[in-house]
Amino acid sequence: MTPLSRYVTCAGYEIHYMEWGALDAPVVIAWHGLARTGRDMDELAAHLAPRYRVICPDTLGRGLSQWARAPHDEYRLAFYARIAAGLFDALGIERAHWVGTSMGGAIGTVCASGLFEPQLKGRIQSLLLNDNAPQLAEEALERIKSYAGHPPAFDTVHELEVFFRQVYKPYGWLSDAQWRTLTETSTRRLPDGRVTPHYDPAMVQQFTHHANDYLIWDHYDALDIPVLCLRGEDSDLVRRETTVQMLARGPGLRGLAQVIEVPGCGHAPALNVPAQYELVDQFLARAEHHAAVPAH
């Protein structure tokens, strides 16, 4: 199925997204990680497209979306939630499932809670957190900060691909073609002709100016929808003890949360192989069933 590349204005910015599937199908929002783009979701979206309308945005400052005019204030979860609310309204989305990798999971959490954007409360039917949790390991955050704010530049796309293969090795297995696509969909040329990852380095200000932006237990505790955390078996970002807490509070306390460890991956599973598709399919089926059963 051929996706469509589209643009929409949200919160005063042009946001790019890929759209897969039929307009009248149930909606899945698939949101990428911190220094990535919506094209990371191509494989999963292609798998889901026969049954769902899949929307894969580029976050503000990433991919083909505009860069923030006020990085200090706008590279943060509260503003990303405002963009998501604008996306729902502009595309006429009343209800949607949310699949979010890393940062994309955190954005989904704060959107689903409705604490930042009350108009989104009740519009997110389920939340799949791909190696994301309401509290992240400090050491891993420091590692991310160390490279995200200073993206390297290379003379050739081949050299950039070698870099990506090293940095994103924890994603697990990717084919050579998938590594090439990952590289080509997240590359931009600098004025001197070299190539670099396709994001605004200033997005790292989320960490320097909003130190606890990813400490979002209050949002998680407010959730009353099905939640699945897919933890990469070797993840350094999501601690096992954190997932235990997730099962004991918020949606976990309500019997709505589940944690599954994904073998052969760290941070974060690429959601690009049959075993991982099956986990997503099963969760979405349970979430559809949950939504169809009247509350008592």
List beta partners, residue 4.
19
Domain presence at residue 160: no
Does pLDDT of 294 surpass 70? no
Q: How many CB atoms sit inside 10 A of residue 233's CB?
A: 14
What is the CATH number for 117?
3.40.50.1820
Q: How many CB atoms sit inside 10 A of residue 177's CB?
A: 8
Directed axis angle between helix 77-90 and helix 103-113, to 10°? 70
Domain count, the chain: 1
- Find the domain containing 35 and state its range: 4-137+211-290
Q: What is the pLDDT of residues 150-180, one digit of tens each?
A: 899 999 999 999 999 999 999 999 999 999 9
Domain presence at residue 144: no
Which pLDDT value is given to residue 142? 85
Q: What is the pLDDT of residues 51-89, one digit of tens each?
A: 999 999 999 999 999 999 999 999 999 999 999 999 999
Which pLDDT value is given to residue 291? 83
Domain presence at residue 284: yes
Does pLDDT of 1 surpass 80? no
pLDDT bin (cut points 50, 70, 90) of residue 148 is confident
Residues 6+ apart with CB under 8 A from 88: 96, 120, 123
Tokens representing 260 are: 């599954």
Residue range 173-197: mean pLDDT, rounded: 98
Q: Where are the alpha helices (DSSP H) in 56-116?
A: 71-74, 77-90, 103-113
Which pLDDT value is given to residue 211? 87
- HSE of 174 in the Cβ direction (CA atoms, 13 Å)? 25
Q: Are 19 and 27 in contact (CB under 8 A)?
A: no
Domain presence at residue 238: yes
Please choose, from the candidates 34, 37, 30, the residue with its C-alpha nearest in 3D space to the C-alpha of residue 55.
Answer: 30
Domain presence at residue 183: no
Does pLDDT of 90 surpass 60? yes
Domain presence at residue 228: yes
Domain presence at residue 157: no
